Structure 1
């Protein structure tokens, strides 16, 4: 099969096209003919250091949508020819190829009116936002939520999900993306390049602060915004845990959470893996009911994936980029 491979840890420009053997589905697994695969920051991040369990050459790509091509021993819940999508195990070969293998229990069936490109835009970023907004922060109407990186994948989905339940959303973005982020549902947008984010959020909330923070930028950003939380508020760190000493003990008593979808494979049980499929199915329903925009900004060919990952690494890409098979 045709695949995009990494021969050793490196940057996106070290990826190359190659012909690899078609993988076989083992017990409890299925083989999927890849129709689309979403690009995510974790692709270039983990490529730089590699993983101890990888065999070389390695195929990146976690968010796969396509058609079941073969089923392994013991698989009864999925049939050949069924359209599915999944968020893959980063320890295994991924979806920047013509075929990919996945555990049957993580597959989410595609609704008839959902195309593969849209489905592949949702898993990693969409489920991270879903976990953050609903599972960890329990956002409801009337709450005020700060979302950093509102024009990105996780941030854009978080803005939509929080606004969709009636929360007031304050998001950060560059000035050039402000209109786009407002279109997603943000009530206020703070230009992180030109404004003091914390001071502006205090001003927008009359000095109160926010009930919740979804930080998609990094540990320093998360730490800087812990002090904006009201008493009992919560922060979800998508891109790294913050230092906690920015808030004195026994004061605002914030709750801190992290998102680690991939650890459902390495540190989770059957229920954790099945929940990956459940969350993805919930996102599919939201999209088909027009309650969530997939934010697919563009589709690319397999040979365009390396340059697209390099663009993602600049941290200025808008929405979701998806590899679409020809």
Structure 2
């Protein structure tokens, strides 16, 4: 194993929980620094992004919770950015000192809420020099969700009209920028307080969901990206053109939205995000070129993971929340 620093002597701090529940189950503890196995690298984590799946799993909700139930204590987190400090002998694509980010340990391993984390080398992309490593921690899962929803599932093309719900959120603020970069006409829903933020990103129309019913305002859309689910997703089906498609992200309501679409004779799909280093490299290039920017609403130290979870679960975060794991 090739290594750039001694990590054996000092234990690392990381967040764990040993049971499902509220944010109070999150604890900071110390453990030995992990050693990368074949195909893996060890990252000294600078930034770990928070995602809704983190608090949902912590509460015992969803598929991942059923998988990790017998494997606690468990360290959450799938978004990591930092510096490679060691690589397994069979890894030739990365070296100690490389600045990397990735969606790691998905779905049952997790591990990003930590000072050090192991990751598969083929899950990691190089972080552009323009992007600091704490901020980069907010990129992978949310950006990959937006990318795969827009371009793989919906097949968004230049000139099409798209409605993006919760456009100022973690996935949303990436999605509006990707859609604009692709040449789409972008409409986004947001609260009034986020209107200027979305206008700065270049969104063509911002609809205040508190005061306006999107079914009255929008029609003939090519794509709807539904980041809210439930009744919002079902109501949005009325805005589609005959050939349009809605992609709904929240898995808990995906089946009911898709069933409602079938009853109406329109298309809707759920999706699950997956790690994809090639997509992540394309996203990194857009960030490097200045075509996409990463907005981090707040950075919390590792010890304040509970506060970060509470804020995330309450909703209405602009952009991303990130843990500073240094």
| Bin of the TM-score, shorter chain as denominator length | 0.7 to 0.9
Find the counterpart in structure 1 of residue 21 from structure 2: 10
Find the counterpart in structure 1 of residue 257 from structure 2: 243
Q: Matches of residues 1-326 of structure 1 in structure 2 within 5 Å?
A: 1-49=12-60, 50-53=65-68, 55-88=71-104, 89-201=106-218, 208-240=219-251, 241=254, 242-247=256-261, 253-254=266-267, 256-261=268-273, 264=274, 276-326=276-326
Q: Is the 8 A contact 2:81 2:99 kept in 1?
A: yes
Q: Quick one: distance in 2 between partners of 1:155 and 1:79?
A: 33
Q: Is the 8 A contact 1:44 1:313 kept in 2?
A: yes
1:200 positional shift:
2.0
Q: Quick one: distance in 2 between partners of 1:248 and 1:124?
A: 29
Cα distance change on mapping 1:2 and 1:194 into 2, 3 Å:
same
Q: Quick one: distance in 1 between partners of 2:215 and 2:197?
A: 22
Q: Is the 8 A contact 1:230 1:252 kept in 2?
A: no
Q: Is the 8 A contact 2:237 2:266 kept in 1?
A: no
Cα distance change on mapping 1:156 and 1:111 into 2, 3 Å:
closer
Q: Give ranges in structure 1 of 5+ residues lacking alignment.
A: 202-207, 265-272
TM-score by length of 1: 0.88
1:252 positional shift:
5.3
Q: Quick one: distance in 2 between partners of 1:62 and 1:81?
A: 21
RMSD: 1.9
1:247 positional shift:
4.1
Q: Quick one: distance in 1 between partners of 2:283 and 2:261?
A: 34
* Moved beyond 4 Å, runs of 4+: none
1:245 positional shift:
4.4
TM-score by length of 2: 0.88
Q: Quick one: distance in 1 between partners of 2:89 and 2:287?
A: 33
For these two proteins, the number of residue pairs brought into alignment is: 306
Cα distance change on mapping 1:3 and 1:248 into 2, 3 Å:
closer
SS in 2 for 1:142: coil
CA displacement 1:110-147 (0-9 Å, x = unmatched): 23333212321110111111112222222233211010
